[in-house]
Structure 1
């Protein structure tokens, strides 16, 4: 196996020459063989082992084994112990997902702090086949069938062309020792059930299954590449990127063949799964919405607006959106929900969308900063009559998403400023004004 492995590395991982590699080592046969092979080829390697504290003494035994194995190879080893169940509970994750998140966060820290270039994992051809069937059971699109990527940013998987039987045979031939994870024998998880019950029978019934499977995956990858090239053209034609996210132009999308498939390709990276609801938005009334865990898709006239759902980290006080913020006289600055400054001045300076000048004697304190409401009216600067904000927004051609972000600054019940858009004429500076207040919003 050493010779074909070297050939594979030379052909597909030549960029690793001179790089430091961190090997994710559980103590299982895959990571033991991977570290042995890379050491044999002269790479500068280190091991990283996660003790997830899930199997008691067995987990501790794995940790001891990996430390001893690193000592035999005369290479550095990094070990970290995690309270995985507590992390999973705190972050509302499954144990498996919690372990994955902890593992890759820690790997990234090691790469950053110890100047490693890549993390190498021991995924092999049987892992790839299992993942294919897992995705098949979940109704995956084509991308889910193209396999585990050999290279994914700083993660590399050099053993993917090799089967588990190849790896075990090589370990036995070279008298290598490894640890068996007892949880891998359980069929409670879908992957283990496939590994122990389903795929062995499938292999018996299908000659050279792994070889045929790898050929099929190569065809699927070519098809996926073709789709991605096509979608790059679609993106230029039908999608506009803006400060709030993305705008999908419905008319342009409907001119394309297979519109539903195009929508899937555009939106599946953002976590959407309810594809009938997404497709229905094309013909829905304005304001209709569909959500993924991270994004929102909303119909707005002849457009679909894709925006990220704000997290609590981005909104430290998530009740601010519903509150009225009071601004007392002589306040010079506020930082939430908008960063605004209030300064008395002697003369009017430059005017743009971020600045207004008002006659302070016309103000009734405290001023109020709040989100706009249906029924709000104001007298736009330069006009004699009043106008509903909803009509003003329509004239300004604001999207639903843009309107949701509008704040108004009020004196008593009267709007002084549709912040960032238009001041109210009733509070403007006149020749009789003696106290000028400059109000500025920092974007």
Structure 2
């Protein structure tokens, strides 16, 4: 158990050995389990220069202040430093709350120069996130949102060392070591969609459709992950083959031989790589269809207030105000 966790942590910390590490915790069983496992890992391995904690209080319940005090007391008993942030503007929207939370955590990490940020997400959270994204109308890229680690900016890594473990595992750890847990009433507030997915939808599917729904979803997500990686590599390779050697432009004559979805993704990558701007699929499909009709003439679509993307039979390029980046 601890050996398996140590193997995952060694993989996460391999690129940033002997660096400061920040752990975001909520006070629930997953967070307290992560605190215990990290404490044991630190005592044995000594891989990190410093391990600190951060807690974000969303003020969803009247007991949130007491919960923050409990977290401070528990980490103080372990001689660990913790930073508490309180969000004054209360919101029950998971999306808005997540944006607030990650904004605070990332800014804190950058300000105090933490190279690694850890969260206590488990594979149970991964399954719940999949259903939430599916209901919202996600693509296959959106299904694989929670992975072991990813970069935040250029210098900070976000890691999820419990992502291969489920909530039953964290519950077992908490009981085995008699860890203090705080019962959070907000977990039973069904105005929060995740709670309804966790407590109603998934148990219903498990009982009436497939007992192995959890494993099947995880297998599907794993397949999506590898498919997405292949598609991304294909997009980058094709983009490098079709981009102009000197100007900010794409060779439309060669690009139009690709499948329309590949054309959309390559143009999206071209825009993001050139001007750090994302354009949705429907607008780009409309632009590509316009290009097919005009043939020898130019067509354009506005991508921002002062930038437009222009296309001819030969090139797709950008125009800033009235100055063409590529004079066709």
TM over 0.5: yes
User: What are the Cα deviations for residues 127-177 of structure 1, in whole angstroms up to 9, with x where unaligned?
Assistant: 111121222223322211234122121211111001111111211121112
Q: Does the 8 A contact of 1:23 with 1:31 survive in 2?
A: no
Q: Secondary structure at the match of 2:253?
A: helix
Q: Secondary structure at the match of 1:160?
A: coil
Q: For residue 66 of structure 1, what is the aligned residue in structure 2?
A: 71
Q: Secondary structure at the match of 2:22?
A: strand
Of residues 225-234 and 133-142 in structure 1, the stretch that sits farther from structure 2 once superposed is 133-142
Q: Alignment partner for residue 250 of structure 1, among 231, 252, 255?
A: 252
Give 1 or 2: higher helix fraction. Answer: 2
**CA distance in structure 2 between the partners assigned to 1:199 and 1:295 by the alignment:** 47
**CA distance in structure 1 between the partners assigned to 2:7 and 2:263 by the alignment:** 39
Unaligned runs of 5+ in 2: 43-47, 152-156
Q: Secondary structure at the match of 2:18?
A: coil
- 1:45 equivalent to 2:46? Answer no
Provide TM-score, normalisation by structure 2.
0.79
Q: For residue 279 of structure 1, what is the aligned residue in structure 2?
A: 285
Q: For residue 376 of structure 1, what is the aligned residue in structure 2?
A: none
Q: CA RMSD in A?
A: 3.0
Q: For residue 220 of structure 1, what is the aligned residue in structure 2?
A: 224
Structure 1 or 2, whichever has the larger Rg, is 1
Q: Does the 8 A contact of 2:235 with 2:265 survive in 1?
A: no
Q: For residue 194 of structure 2, what is the aligned residue in structure 1?
A: 191
**CA distance in structure 1 between the partners assigned to 2:312 and 2:299 by the alignment:** 9
How many residue pairs get matched?
A: 299
Q: Does the 8 A contact of 2:9 with 2:161 survive in 1?
A: yes
**CA distance in structure 1 between the partners assigned to 2:136 and 2:255 by the alignment:** 27
Against the structure 1 CA distance between its residues 291 and 198, is the aligned structure 2 distance closer, same or farther, given a 3 Å change threshold?
farther
Query: Highest relative contact order (Cα 8 Å, sep 6+), 1 or 2?
Result: 2
Q: For residue 23 of structure 1, what is the aligned residue in structure 2?
A: 23
Against the structure 1 CA distance between its residues 189 and 209, is the aligned structure 2 distance closer, same or farther, given a 3 Å change threshold?
same
Question: Which residues of 2 match residues 108-257 of structure 1 at below 5 A?
Answer: 108-153=106-151, 154-204=157-207, 205-240=209-244, 247-256=249-258
Q: Secondary structure at the match of 1:122?
A: coil
Q: Secondary structure at the match of 1:126?
A: helix
Against the structure 1 CA distance between its residues 181 and 208, is the aligned structure 2 distance closer, same or farther, given a 3 Å change threshold?
same
Q: For residue 45 of structure 2, what is the aligned residue in structure 1?
A: none
Give 1 or 2: higher strand fraction. Answer: 1
Unaligned runs of 5+ in 1: 89-93, 307-400, 407-443
- 1:404 equivalent to 2:322? Answer yes
Q: Secondary structure at the match of 2:146?
A: coil
Q: Does the 8 A contact of 2:242 with 2:255 survive in 1?
A: yes
- 1:105 equivalent to 2:108? Answer no
Against the structure 1 CA distance between its residues 228 and 290, is the aligned structure 2 distance closer, same or farther, given a 3 Å change threshold?
same
How far is the alpha carbon of 1:209 from its aligned partner? Answer: 3.4
Against the structure 1 CA distance between its residues 101 and 215, is the aligned structure 2 distance closer, same or farther, given a 3 Å change threshold?
closer
